[in-house]
Amino acid sequence: MDIPFEPVVFGIKVNIHLVLEYAAFFIGFRYYLILKKDTRDPISSSNRLSIIIGAVFGAFLGSRIIGFLENPSFLSFSLEYLVQLLSAKTIMGGLFGGLLGVELAKKIIGEKKSSGDLFTFPIILGIIIGRVGCFLAGTNEFTYGKETTSFLGMDLGDGLLRYPIALFEVIFLILLWIVLKRFQNKLNSESGMLFKYFMISYFLFRFLIEFLKPNTFLILGLSSIQYLCILCLIYYHKTIRKFFYAN
């Protein structure tokens, strides 16, 4: 199989990345509904709906803002530039923006209970599916790594051996899923801990893996994604400190 993988169906070239991106949303949400059905949700249906709406709007804005900051340009404000700006997105901004959207929604409706645990595994599943699409898209999507001469290098479509960052992420998320499942009962003893450990683990991984990406826009040697990761880790500093004190 060649990468980028661009299957032709009935004479039409299929954008497999776009297909899997939509599949990630659909399957992830369906998985959430299954878990919600089999779980006693401490949050009322109306409040849960408000939280989901907050998450959606927060994720949309966050993904676009951070997507733009990955490689900002203020040279042109043409219609084409506006379309590119609206299409720029990143899962990292979506996750953190969704988190802020949820917290804002909970504050508005007066909900005090933690709401993230039920979303944790559907989010991981959705990211895995989406990253498979990124991997199959090769260099058509900016999820590839720097050139390398190591055995980890793959030709992702431009004839050069590069780190397959998207594939690394899929492997990491599968391992994270297994670990979180293994300790789920223990983590569920305190509401919200499952989601917090997912966010801390994933953002720490992304901070480290960014060093393998050929980022062109850096501030003091770090990318905008890495600064977002630092912000997220600061946000969860109490949980991180509690983990180290408990161990």
Residue-wise pLDDT tens digits, 37-87: 877 767 777 888 888 898 888 888 888 888 777 766 654 555 555 555 555
Q: Distance between CA 149 and CA 162 in Å, rounded? A: 8
Which tokens hold the place of 186? 């223990």
Q: Distance between CA 201 and CA 210 in Å, rounded? A: 14
Lowest mean pLDDT among 17-31, 62-76, 227-241: 62-76
Mean pLDDT of the chain: 85
Q: Does residue 203 have a pLDDT over 90?
A: yes
Most confident of 137-146, 151-160, 171-180: 171-180
pTM above 0.85, yes or no: yes
Which tokens hold the place of 74? 């203020």
Amino acid at 188: N
Q: Distance between CA 134 and CA 168 in Å, rounded? A: 11
Q: Does residue 12 have a pLDDT over 90?
A: no
Q: Distance between CA 225 and CA 230 in Å, rounded? A: 9
